[in-house]
Amino acid sequence: MTHRPTARWRGLVALLALVACLALPRAALAHPHVWVVMKSELVYAPDGSVTGVRHAWTFDDMFSTYATQGLESKQKGVFTREELKDLAEVNVTSLKEYDFFTYAKLDGKDSPFTDPVDYWLEFKDSMLTLHFTLPLKAAAKAKGIELEVYDPSYFVDFSFAEGADPFALKNAPGACKVALKKPTEQETSSQLQKLTESSFAQDGSRVGALFANKVSVRCP
């Protein structure tokens, strides 16, 4: 009897391949191999405290094709949320090791996240989008919030979506202002030219921070 690979197995293979590449010498990873386009929200509670971040990450078509290869679906080339359920679980479980590439500070203090909730995958226009919410371990009121999204090894390239509102405030207290800084192609190219092989080879290197997407929120 021939057994078809399950969604969990296929997703695990795709993500293990990604993790294996992350383990290679950093000199071999001097440019990204996976591209993610983001839309995100900072989520507030009714009392004005920050509770977490909600992400929607769209993976490039090549990675999306590989991750869904062999998955069973009722309609060829079309996947429902239910059919992608196991793959979504593999994604969030595997990415936990990398802190979901999301780092927050509230009023200057590091604010770690806990396990994601409300996660699911969407397949549209041949690309996967991972939706998930990262709750803060401790919700808190803050006048200044700094958020960065990046892969320390720069294996994965993150960028905010073009157009209006790639980052939004959900239920924020009035008059909060958002400033978004996205690395330009010129800045990225310039930084890569300055880096050497040793920059990627060092243990614990966070060279990807040079290409971080940064969000600054200020509330009265």
Q: Which pLDDT score, from 0 to 100, does residue 65 have?
A: 87
CA 179, CA 136: separation in Å to the nearest integer?
Answer: 21
The residues, ordered by sequence, that sit 6+ positions from 120 with a Cβ below 8 Å of its Cβ are: 81, 84, 85, 88, 130, 131, 132
> For the residues of 87-101, what is the DSSP string, one character each?
HHHHHHHHHGGGGGG
Q: Which pLDDT score, from 0 to 100, does residue 191 have?
A: 63
Return the beta strands (E) in 49-188 as ranges: 50-59, 102-106, 109-110, 117-124, 127-140, 144-149, 156-160, 167-170, 177-181
Q: In the 8-state DSSP scheme, what is residue 108?
A: T
pLDDT in tens, 24-55: 444 444 467 889 999 999 999 999 999 999 99
How distant, in Å, are the alpha carbons of 97, 102, 103 from that of 114? Answer: 12, 11, 12
Q: Which residues of the chain have pLDDT under 50?
A: 1-13, 16-17, 19-30, 201, 203-204
Whether the pTM exceeds 0.85: the reply is: no
Q: Which pLDDT score, from 0 to 100, does residue 215 have?
A: 96
